[in-house]
Amino acid sequence: MTHTQAVGQDVRRSPVGRFVAFLYGLAAYAVFFASFLYSIGFVSGLVVPKTIDTGPVVPITEALIVNILLMSLFAVQHSVMARRQFKEWWTQYVPKSVERSTYVLSASLTLILLFWQWRAMPGIVWQVVNPQIAVAIIGLSFVGWLLVLTSTFLINHFELFGLHQVANNLFGRAMPKPQFKTPLFYKFVRHPIYLGFIIAFWATPTMTIGHLLFAAVTTAYIYVGILLEERDLVHFIGDDYRRYKERVSMLIPWRKSA
């Protein structure tokens, strides 16, 4: 099945089917947004009932194994389902209009599983005791989260999380052809969303062993994810993206691109 055929089949589906797909997309987005908000509290240790440093404390070996498996599961799901080859196979069975929503829902559920089963490792690696500096560091972490959310809106938040697709399908419209653009933050770094996550994960006044493990593994995954994502972007966009890579740094603003 070609891309055009898949889109065409979605657009021609019955009104009831399109409405069900729209409700599914809304539900997937709601689960995503709830998990995103929870992740802020989980990492920062604020408001939510279970954070990265709370919950049952188990032997260090068990905690390492369980936590690494949880992060690995998220990384595999997040990367495999985002790849071009998987999408080409997957959309033979899943309507194109809900492919992105299904990806978002799967990632959100995997993240919720991580929150639920995460094992606390509360040993302190470092701690900032000065209250003013501690508050400033917490503020920096929220700047990271804000950078993540703002950057998604710069490149079409609702398409990124599947709502644009199900809304167009509901009204019988095909998705517009993707356009390569580099608004605001994207003029300084190629991946401001990932930069925001790195800031949010590392900016903490109290770094525990569990938090350090989470930050280190997710940062390593971000670098791997960037390599995979940029390979796909070069495939789809071509020379424009190659020139963009030469001109703009990957993660550090104003640094000359490698």
Tally Cβ neighbours within 10 Å of residue 53.
22
Q: How much is the pTM? A: 0.90
pLDDT at 11: 45
Q: Is residue 11 part of a domain?
A: yes
Domain membership of residue 179 as a residue range = 3-247
Question: Does residue 9 register a pLDDT over 50?
Answer: no
Please state, rounded to an integer, the average pLDDT across all residues of the chain. 91
Q: Is residue 257 part of a domain?
A: no
C-alpha radius of gyration, the chain, whole number = 20
Q: Is residue 18 part of a domain?
A: yes
pLDDT at 258: 52
List residues bridging with 179 in a β-sheet. none
Q: Is residue 82 part of a domain?
A: yes
List, for residues 10-55, the tens digit of each pLDDT value: 444 688 999 999 999 999 999 999 999 999 999 999 999 999 999 8
Confidence of residue 68 (pLDDT cuts 50, 70, 90): very high
* Span 111-127, average pLDDT: 96
Report the residue count for the chain. 258
Q: Is residue 252 part of a domain?
A: no
Count of domains in the chain?
1
Question: Does residue 232 register a pLDDT over 70?
Answer: yes
Q: Is residue 255 part of a domain?
A: no
Q: Is residue 211 part of a domain?
A: yes
Q: Is residue 99 part of a domain?
A: yes
φ/ψ region of 121 (left if φ > 0, alpha if ψ in -120 to 50, else beta) reads beta
